[in-house]
Amino acid sequence: MKTLLLTRRFPDATIAAAQALFDVTIRDRTDGLSVEDAATALQSFDAILCTLGDRFSDMAFAVPDKRCGMIGSFGVGFNHIDVAAAQAAGIHVSNTPDVLTDATADLAMTLILMTARRAGEGERLVRSGGWDGWHPTQMLGTHVTGKRIGIIGMGRIGQAVARRAHFGFGMKVIYFNRSPKDVDFPARQVDDLHGLMSQADIVVVTVPGGGANTHLVDAAALGQMTDGAVFVNIARGDVVDEAAMIAELARGRISAGLDVYDKEPMVPDALKVLENVVLLPHLGSAALETREAMGQMALDNIVAWAEGRPLPQALWTV
Ligand code: DGY
């Protein structure tokens, strides 16, 4: 039986399915593998079921005497794995697209509504005991229905957000995407990011993290946003210049709904003290059915590798 490391406690269904097929070791911790631990794992197990926060960098893959032939990553984003280094080492890698698209798009809508309607602030007010009753000008937010939404990255999740915005909230959709996209609902592609930032009432970031997308949304881009606009990030923290975003939020001109941060789980105090920002702990795919589907997809890939078949969700192919 092949050995399989689970780098976290995954859903019970995932663990049970894994244990039926592999000799499983569970690392029962919530933090990610360090580069050193990732390297050791590559030397110690035939296959690894990992997730974001596990640091499979080029340094980890440089370790000698690797035993691992397959990394199944739980999640669609894979900026925690140096896929080129894995490929050079002959280690197969897969991710879990599609199964979390709806859950993540739903979370984007949650953040849009919470931020525009000041729901986090309102919840804090009620819990603090400081609410003195309804009055006509209390905690006025921004109307969402019919506004213009700007999507950065029109991939699967971007399109799912756009659909919800268009069909559910009657929003006009504009988007910035490096390549042209053919979508089956009304949406206008904008050629440059600054154009999108300056025209949208609500901006949602859905591009993958790392590489050329690092700090794609910088101070200049944030400065283009109109007064009262809402900025939402459900992608990866490094896509946004976090310091510049905090400075822009501190001016009070825009508000933000964030699910991701540059150095998770560290969230800067300068962000936590601001009332015009909703902060969630990376909940994008955090629904039980979704996480079980992600676990099953990751395992399906590991099984395909174990049986010598092509991976259904391969991140590199021969
Ligand atoms: C992913 O799959 O990349 C998400 O960020 C996890 O929720």
- Per-residue pLDDT, 194: 98
Q: 252 — alpha (psi -120 to 50), left (phi > 0) or beta?
A: left
Determine the residue of 54, 76, 262 to mutate for testing ligand 1's pocket, defined as the one with the most ligand atoms within 8 A of the Cβ atom. 76
Q: Which residues of the chain have pLDDT under 50?
A: none
Ligand 1, atom nearest to 234 Cα: 5
> Hey, where are the domains in the chain?
3-98+288-316, 101-279
Which fold is adopted by the domain 101-279?
Answer: Rossmann fold (3.40.50)
* pLDDT of the residue at 159: 98
Ligand 1 nearest-atom number relative to CA 283? 7
Right CATH for 3-98+288-316 from 3.40.50.720, 3.40.630.30, 3.40.50.620, 3.40.50.300: 3.40.50.720
Domains 3-98+288-316 and 101-279 share a fold: yes
Name the E strands within the chain.
3-6, 23-26, 47-51, 70-74, 92-94, 148-152, 172-176, 188-189, 202-205, 230-233, 255-258, 277-279
pTM, entire model: 0.96
Q: What is the pLDDT of residue 180?
A: 92
Measured CA to CA, the distance from residue 240 to residue 235 in angstroms comes to 10
Q: Would you state the pLDDT for residue 259?
A: 98
pLDDT of residue 318: 77
Q: Which residues contact 85 (CB under 8 A, 6 or more apart)?
A: 56, 57, 58, 60, 61, 62
Q: Which of 285, 290, 313, 315 to mutate to test the pocket of ligand 1 (most atoms within 8 A of CB)?
A: 285
The per-residue pLDDT for 55 is 98
At position 181, the amino acid (one-letter code) is K
Enter the tokens of residue 10. Answer: 């995954």
Quickly tell me which residue has 């009753």 as its tokens.
Answer: 133
